[in-house]
A and B are shown apart, each in its own frame.
Chain A
């Protein structure tokens, strides 16, 4: 079908359109001014950003941290009977795994077997059979849980930084990559990552909403200084937030707010705030009380104001939910909000008392049959307190709080005398697993250390962008001029193909959601030099064929035909090198490999297919007698 020139043009045109479509978000994101971005709104910008090429930390400035859990330490911590032999075995296994670059657990099993250790004696707290293999297997599961829990803790804390798109991902079996664009303060990052997690169960004080809110409103009406200060200079650095929320609060406030607001995400009217400067911001949401995402910072700042804090009754405190949610309000509009809780400031249970949280399916025949639940037990001390607490607070809510953020607030159904607790009400397995990981934060402090840290200042990043684009521009111009001088008309065609190639590479990168790094720009620049190679091979071949006395048409045909195999072979080998880099290499190297290989693949299309189509176009119209080459 590609003999027919119309199909060829159609293919080229559709690829161009597809490229333009893919590049559009990137163009938008980087050409809009801040105010235009604000106008488009968070949701639209988020969508645009997802489709755009991201800038790597080396270009926009920021921090890259690689964390590792100290596995030997973790394995030692898990043991409920720590003997000298065990410690020696762990040390030896650690040493061997470093020397041989092998997995710690493989070495640990070997060492334990060599030393005739019976690991079960040290780990009879683990639910396994007695042989060493299964103990090690279970330890691996514990390792995975510890990492998952560490991830959850870091995710939960990361918004303290106010970074718009933090990357937190697991890397390998026991590492975590954290990338914070725009952050330079590594002490804060260290603190964020290495601070001990605090997990608490605390009573939700729904019945005290009214009283507390009245107090705050009255205070703010009498002394408006708090309001003014906080509106003007929202303190973005402060982290946590006391806020108020309640389950039975609908009747207390705001019914009228929602009714009077037909449009999505409308701010609270000034009229209401005049009467209720604090509680006016709160509104009923599906499981309690929430604050609109738009007004979150206002309320957060209010609650952090020392004067306001002093007015909160003793024994209570405001806590935010761990994340924003979206729901429909009564009028059917979607609102984005963050739930606020008002809880007891004296937590009943602390993390150390929670044991073995596990997400599982509810047992057959129970109420939770067929649903995902989280089971947990308590330490002896915790069991006693939990029993008393649950007995006294049946049908009230208890908040599960990690680092001062409420993850959920289940209702106590019954007195729990044994510590064996089941938490229900999860939508799916992931929700249940997340909560199990949160609960683990108290149980297993996985020692985490920073093993690699790279920080790039914003000035260096913008310098790099400037010099990178300058080099790219000059490179492009130089190659184009050279090609046009050397190959004349055909050279012009090659430069056209080159530009098309760059457009397609950008489109592919945007489509892949790739991140552009400085080495990535270098890869692009190198692509410019190498992409014309295919055309050079073809043109030289055509010249040779012309020298042999062939007609223009015949020379073009055999030139392309013969050159194709050469180009293919030559490019495949470069691609092999690039793929290996993308596979084995890390971070910036990968960026380089991705742009280079994309460039090579696209150049095969533009330099061969597109240029040939143009040649066909001209030679079809009238037989060419000479060729500008």
Chain B
């Protein structure tokens, strides 16, 4: 069985359309980020307290909001979490779980179970933020070095551009949808980086193999041939990975819902970018240089 039989899609010539699409997506994301004053950070990074509360019966959020604001949860953000009888309460102050529990009992009586409380001090939040940025920066740098070493710097540029593209778009989607960035989303970002790169490398590897084979052809053609040859694999791996992340999203539980969502976006964008971003960028830089394949 084959999903795609021999294809000969001219990926490189599509770069005007795809480039426009990518840039439009990135600009939309960045605009949203600027308008909202940066990404929506969770208490992991800003400090504060989040409590996950399960009620015996579905609750009316606006009513709950009113009740809670009378009892010292002023300005608390209250959102439904997965099902109508479960809510997340986020406040800026950092308090212990007992404190929260006491206050809630005062306000609501014994109609709820406190399922989870996370409280992060402002100082540690800032540190976690730094660590996260450091992790992403460090990962990108190491990958750049590895690819430069295994291929050359144009390949490295192509793949890192694709990665930045992926992370920016995912970040933009999160900002547009008003989803929070927490610690596990950072982990998802790095997984996206790893996954997207995995895809890109397989293509690059084939280009490297094909260049001596097709000495008479232009770089554009060689890249197109390679992309087509590996297309089956790209599609199938994306499919199997997509299957598991969608399952994770649907059945993995509420706590990792957003994490799975980030991966879904990431796998999609990552597959797209290894076809339409990494190689065109590599070709662009390779041609601009006085490299041996400048045609």
Q: Which residues of A contact B (CB under 8 A)?
A: 58, 63, 66, 98, 101, 184-187, 190, 450-457, 459-460, 463-464, 466-468, 470-471, 474-475, 478-479, 482-483, 485-488, 518-519, 521-522, 525-526, 528-530, 532-533, 536-537, 540, 543-544, 562, 565-566, 569-578, 580-581, 584-586, 588-589, 592-593, 596
B77 located at the interface, meaning its Cβ lies under 8 Å from any Cβ of chain A in the complex: no
Distance A464 CA – B241 CA, assembled complex (angstroms): 21
Within 8 A of A (CB), among B57-96: 94, 96
**Contact across chains for A529 and B241 when beta carbons are under 8 A apart:** yes
Dominant secondary structure of chain B at its interface with chain A:
helix
**Contact across chains for A562 and B243 when beta carbons are under 8 A apart:** no
**Contact across chains for A525 and B244 when beta carbons are under 8 A apart:** yes
Distance A573 CA – B245 CA, assembled complex (angstroms): 20
B118 located at the interface, meaning its Cβ lies under 8 Å from any Cβ of chain A in the complex: yes
Q: List 16 A-B contacts (CB under 8 A).
A: A58-B255, A66-B124, A190-B96, A451-B120, A455-B97, A460-B255, A471-B247, A475-B247, A522-B256, A525-B247, A530-B198, A530-B237, A533-B237, A577-B190, A580-B142, A585-B187
Tell me, rounded to whole Å, the shortest Cβ–Cβ distance linking A201 to chain B. Answer: 34
Contact with A along B210-245 (1 / 0, CB 8 A): 000000000000000000011011001101111111
**Contact across chains for B237 and A468 when beta carbons are under 8 A apart:** no
**Contact across chains for B146 and A576 when beta carbons are under 8 A apart:** yes
**Contact across chains for A519 and B187 when beta carbons are under 8 A apart:** yes
Task: Find chain A residues with CB under 8 A from B244 CB.
Answer: 475, 478-479, 525-526, 528-529
Q: Which residue of B lies closest to A629 (CB)?
A: B1
Contact with A along B250-261 (1 / 0, CB 8 A): 111101100110
**Contact across chains for A453 and B118 when beta carbons are under 8 A apart:** yes
B42 located at the interface, meaning its Cβ lies under 8 Å from any Cβ of chain A in the complex: no
Residue from the list A471, A487, A562, A573 in contact with B147, Cβ < 8 A: A573
Within 8 A of A (CB), among B171-230: 183-184, 186-187, 190-191, 193-195, 197-199, 201-202, 205-206, 209, 229-230
Chain B contact residue count (CB 8 A cutoff): 76
Please count the residue pairs between chain A and chain B whose beta carbons lie under 8 angstroms apart in the complex.
Answer: 228
Residue from the list A450, A455, A467, A482 in contact with B116, Cβ < 8 A: A455
Given A98-B123, A467-B251 in contact, is the A537-B150 Cβ separation under 8 Å?
no
Task: Find chain B residues with CB under 8 A from A98 CB.
Answer: 123
Given A581-B187, A584-B131 in contact, is the A536-B116 Cβ separation under 8 Å?
no
Distance A570 CA – B229 CA, assembled complex (angstroms): 17
Distance A101 CA – B206 CA, assembled complex (angstroms): 45
**Contact across chains for A577 and B201 when beta carbons are under 8 A apart:** no
Q: Which residue of B lies closest to A470 (CB)?
A: B251
Task: Find chain A residues with CB under 8 A from B128 CB.
Answer: 586
Task: Find chain B residues with CB under 8 A from A185 CB.
Answer: 98
Task: Find chain B residues with CB under 8 A from A457 CB.
Answer: 113-116
Residue from the list B94, B150, B252, B260 in contact with A569, Cβ < 8 A: B150
Kindly specify which of B29-37, B132-140, B277-285 makes contact with the partner chain.
B132-140
The 3 closest A-B pairs by CB, nearest first: A467-B253, A574-B194, A577-B194
**Contact across chains for A526 and B251 when beta carbons are under 8 A apart:** no
